[in-house]
Amino acid sequence: MHWLDWAIVAAYLIYIVYDGLRLTKKSNEVEGYFLANRSLPWWAVGLSVIATQLSAITLVGTTGQAYADGMRFIQFYFGLPFAMVILCMTAVPFFYRAKVYTAYEYLERRFDAKTRALTSFFFLISRGLACGVIVAAPSVILSIVFGWNELATVLVMGLSTTLYTMFGGVQAVTWTDVKQMVVIFVGLGVILFVIVGQFPDSVSIGEAVSLAGAAGRMKTVDASFNANETYTLWSGLIGGMFLALSYFGCDQSQVQRFLTARSVSEGRTSLLMSAFVKIPMQVLILFIGVMVFVFYQFVQPPLIFKSDDRARVEQRAEYQRLNAEYAQAFDARRQAARDFADAADQGDARQSFIAASDRMNDVRKRASDLVKNETGKPLNDVNYVFPTFVTTYAPAGVIGLIIAAIFAAAMSSISAELAALSTATVMDFYRRHFRAEAPDAHYLMVSKLATGFWGLFACGVALYAGRLGSLIEVVNKFGSYFYGSLLGVFALAIGTRRATGNGAFFGLLAGMVSVALVARYSKISFLWYNVVGCVVVVAVGMLLSLLGKKSNPFDKGH
């Protein structure tokens, strides 16, 4: 890497840690440390909400997804604005006026201590492990693409974030998120400019989009009713809405964001900012991936992007034969792409281009099978497409900027998770069950220790997860079992006065078991898991609540 790139990455890291640490003095009491004294403006909270959700793997994986599969992934976000409206009408005023530190604290007021403890415990387990995955995923990719030491990457990313979150609290999290969003947006804008600038002179943006469209990369809406298809209009609108309701309304890492706002109105406005910005921002990220796809119509892409998998097969005769065939297929497709871009009547040229693309895809599929036979695992190299393009074709300075943007995306998510994990640990367990009365300074010290503990825990999980890819899958699955069910508990809490603590507690367990069974024995898309979990919790919770009340005529309810 050029010295300029190193300088940009170093400058970013030093500035962010300095910026976070200088807010330490504003976090000298528990409410300041966890809730910024409810003093933050809506635009800072809104950017923090977006930054928390945008992890490095979203940035890198989404561009790769668009390269491989086009823009269909955008449907995943279609339900988000509707969820934001529902949350602004319900969760924001409920949590804000309840003056709670955690979302789960509200459940104790509404139900009982065991429901609060169970939900908070599941949150700590799922998000603690997920935080490790958020550190691990970009570290693995950066170490493979750049040849960096994985341990060093994990420690630089994880420990620097832990340092400023530990001392600066949620003030540091929010204000560094704002700067990190600026780095991400600048990085995205510059890289789009770089990609388009490297197209052949004869190819305009309009022709590039036409090429992408002919290869099926511009399809954004699939209105078919197929529950097994992951990304459709309906899974996005319904499943995506339930997922967004669960994540933004029940996950402490997001709830804590709007609890820091100056008022209910500013909390609402901060969430509605995501409703306006999220879809266009994801369109931009996906469009960058599509433009990388168009770039590789004129420059031969690697047969396999993931270099460590490629290294395991490239000495084999079969791979070398496939590579030669791939080069020939690429030459034919490049010519077809040029003809398509130049053609006045695009009908025949379009068919030739599609046929040439199919030939290339066929060779790549055979190479994937070769890797699968060698490694025993299916080849999944979409996360390596964008970093490979950046390292190979971006000029000095831009590489550093993109690495800084990837770091920014990862660190903004990690810091919010750490702050949320620390808040839940201290407020839902330490203060609730171990030491109810203590000076503020004591809780502040314990909170900082808790943040430090979760930071080290995340780094430990990251190093382990890097070696065991399947752990990432397990963590993601556990999260998906939990989210919809948790939404069901909050629906019972906010939506009805008849639900009881036992109903919510056992409803939550029933919901999680149901989602696990659906995931095990059906092929429906994971976006529907949240709907299943939520519906089962509400149904079982209400049934148990009504039965419980019948058997206990003295239960006064809530």
Partner 1 sequence: MNESTQRDEEREYPHWNRVYITVIIYTICLIIGLWLFSRMFQ
Rule CB under 8 A: which residues touch partner 1? 71, 74, 78, 81-82, 84-85, 88-89, 97, 99, 209-210, 212-214, 216, 218-221, 233, 263-265, 268, 272, 275-276, 279-280, 283
Q: Which residues pair with 40 in a beta bridge?
A: 261
Which is it for the CA torsion 453, 39, 51, 396, positive or negative? negative
- How far apart, in whole angstroms, are the C-alpha atoms of residue 73 and residue 518? 23
Residue 47 C-beta: closest distance to partner 1, Å: 18
Residue 309 C-beta: closest distance to partner 1, Å: 32
Residue (264 or 513) nearer to partner 1, CB: 264
- How far apart, in whole angstroms, are the C-alpha atoms of residue 155 and residue 269? 36
**CB-based contacts of 122, cutoff 8 Å, min separation 6:** 482, 486
Within 13 Å of residue 62, how many CA atoms lie on the same side as its CB? 25
Radius of gyration of the chain (CA): 25
Residue 230 C-beta: closest distance to partner 1, Å: 18
- How far apart, in whole angstroms, are the C-alpha atoms of residue 301 and residue 64? 13
Residue (190 or 283) nearer to partner 1, CB: 283
258 within 8 A of 270, measured Cβ to Cβ: yes
Separation in Å, CA 540 to CA 103, 485, 489, 508, 517: 22, 11, 11, 9, 16
Residue (199 or 384) nearer to partner 1, CB: 199
Residue 236 C-beta: closest distance to partner 1, Å: 9
**Strand ranges inside 336-376, DSSP E:** none
Residue (18 or 276) nearer to partner 1, CB: 276
Residue (75 or 180) nearer to partner 1, CB: 75
Residue 275 C-beta: closest distance to partner 1, Å: 5
Instruction: Spell out the alpha helix ranges (H) of 198-251.
Output: 205-214, 233-234, 240-250
Residue 379 C-beta: closest distance to partner 1, Å: 28
- How far apart, in whole angstroms, are the C-alpha atoms of residue 530 and residue 239? 7
Residue (200 or 213) nearer to partner 1, CB: 213
**CB-based contacts of 100, cutoff 8 Å, min separation 6:** 106, 109, 259
Residue (137 or 281) nearer to partner 1, CB: 281
534 membership: H or E segment, kind and range: helix 529-551
- How far apart, in whole angstroms, are the C-alpha atoms of residue 181 and residue 139? 20
Q: Is 70 left (phi over 0), alpha (psi -120 to 50) or beta?
A: left
Residue 192 C-beta: closest distance to partner 1, Å: 17
**CB-based contacts of 177, cutoff 8 Å, min separation 6:** 44, 47, 48, 51, 52, 412, 415, 416
Residue 268 C-beta: closest distance to partner 1, Å: 7
Structure tokens at 42: 């809506």
Residue 224 C-beta: closest distance to partner 1, Å: 13
